[in-house]
Structure 1
């Protein structure tokens, strides 16, 4: 923390085995920083007393019971992006399967879904990102890795790409890409876009499916757009993960807004 904090005024502390921002904590000397990607932001004025800082950060067995804490430089106002790659056996070259951006919730501002494919970046920045992801994938090949991997980066407002994480496993976009491929074909991202969100409060599954059809939101094979339920957890937590597919971002966001309006009317407030 002492080494990294002076560089940008902020560091992020991550539980090594947490996911999606849960357990993350940002420590900053900048009062204006309200971090995205962390459960909490801790504003400090004096970093000389490391013991006091560690105590304030809650670094105890209850904070990281399953593994080490990773401390990273935190860059505010960056965009979190990813590329899912397939690492085959050499000499076959790695292949990018899909790309996208991470979506965050409001409270807490942690991972809440994805949008595919990667959009709103210049061609030059996009090429730097995809070329870098493939270079990392080739490195993984030399280490003997074979399979899928999700390679993460952050893009700063000036277009600088910084790679910060590699997940050598199925990623959060794997099933989304499969759903879109089944419905639209292998090169679905050439003509469609996708929005997803998980842990969304929902009525019971059968009620939800009927409501989507009744409101014209369900997947329409002829129109090649609509809502698909990617996972159903209504019995355990009263939530679902949804996917919205449409030919354009504006149409996709309009369908998502209609879906949220329907859900707001359909979900009963929790009793206390």
Structure 2
């Protein structure tokens, strides 16, 4: 089996289904719609003949910027905006907006096209059948029910803990319970371990994560998507949060990249790759665990990308945290970095992702001009620079960016110059 990459010639129907019950219950529509605001980054996956289905519109300035950076003519691409429908999957939102026939027409005009989803859920598989396209990389038969079940299970904290334990991964001590039983089990865990971490069983991006101790006993409310199962874990003395991204299928599991996550109170705010320093000392064990997990997924019929998140304590011990069996916050930016670096002859790029607030408000065009004027914009001749991999932020301030270089040491200097140029808040 050959995994599809952004540079394959076969056209792709890039399906940005951030609204998916894999990550959180569809009833938590406000949270899911917030995540869906990141859909413009899928623009970096597109090549000639590709179609993007996105729950949010992309500005003309951002579309031109991404297309020019990738040496693709904008008229070779098709972007279909699917207005979100609260509490509904993206497939139902397409139907509700009356866009199904438009998608079928685009598919008919592109022989060989296949659907490339952000999350492999049952609704996207049904939609692919409805418009007459295979799901990458499964072919016409599509994923099996067993594959869909293992994807759903391993996108929960409890499902991952069961599999990780069976595969011999080291994990924080923890228990699984319903929200109604949280108080009693939290009190027991705090008495035994001191500080603990509470995680909704099905969540992503740190949503709902709560840190508790004897001096901070306030339990989280049972809001939308948070009234079901939870995991309570001992709070480790964390020095580094790391992840590894792999791809798996019938021919085995391969590593795509690994790096260190930037987090704030458990929420993802950035990434740095490759692993360096103390974080790099755990790389071999992280790879072994990732391959084991990938082989387990493949055994159950799954084929495609997935990630394994872990933490390293101050004494250098690696602990597994969770798996994400879908395209993650770093998958598409990594594809972008790989494409841009290849055009510059940069074989092993160092890169980072950041999210910072600017003190001033900029349009997308203004921000790009600032990069260009200060010689910070990605330059293939110089083989380094900054890329805004997302469109202009809705609040005008919170920018998501990538920094790329041939040297890991140069990333920090470029990011510092970017912070000064954009007047980022401390």
- 2:261 maps to 1:102: yes
- Which residue is 1:32 aligned to? none
Structure number with the higher helix fraction is 2
The alignment yields a C-alpha RMSD, in angstroms, of 2.6
Aligned match of 1:82 in 235, 243, 246?
A: 243
Q: Which of 345, 355, 372 pairs up with 1:213?
A: 372
SS at match of 2:375: coil
**Structure 2 residue aligned with 1:19:** 204
**TM-score w.r.t. length of structure 2:** 0.51
Q: What are the residue-to-residue correspondences of 1:1-272 with 2, within 5 Å? A: 1-29=186-214, 43-44=215-216, 53=217, 56-58=218-220, 60-62=221-223, 64-65=225-226, 67-88=228-249, 90=250, 92-105=251-264, 110-121=267-278, 125-185=282-342, 191-198=348-355, 200-201=357-358, 203-235=362-394, 238-264=397-423
For the residues of structure 2 that align with 1:161 and 1:189, how far apart are their CA atoms? 31
Look up the match of 1:37. Answer: none
What TM-score do the two structures reach when normalised by structure 1?
A: 0.78
Higher strand share: 1
Q: CA deviation at 1:66?
A: 6.3
Superposition deviation, residue 203 in structure 1: 1.4
How big is the shift at 1:17? 4.1
For the Cα contact (< 8 Å) 2:312–2:318, is it kept in 1?
A: yes
Matches of 1:131 and 1:97 in 2, distance apart? 14
Pair 1:200–1:230, CA change in 2 (3 A): farther
SS in 1 for 2:261: strand
The structure-2 alpha-carbon separation of the partners of 1:199 and 1:17, relative to structure 1 and needing over 3 Å to count, comes to farther
Q: Structure 1 stretch 171-180 or stretch 17-26: which is displaced more?
A: 17-26
How far 1:94 sits from its partner (Å)? 0.4
> Following TM superposition, by how much is the alpha carbon of 1:116 offset from its aligned partner in structure 2, in angstroms?
1.1
Contact between 1:14 and 1:25, CA under 8 Å: does it hold in 2?
yes
Structure 2's unaligned 5+ residue stretches are: 1-185
Whether the aligned pair in 1 keeps the contact of 2:362 and 2:396 (CA below 8 Å) is no
| CA distance in structure 1 between the partners assigned to 2:383 and 2:226 by the alignment | 46
Count of residue pairs the alignment pairs up? 237
Which blocks of at least 5 consecutive residues in structure 1 are unaligned? 30-42, 45-52, 268-272
Shift of 1:164: 1.6
Alignment correspondent of 2:58 = none
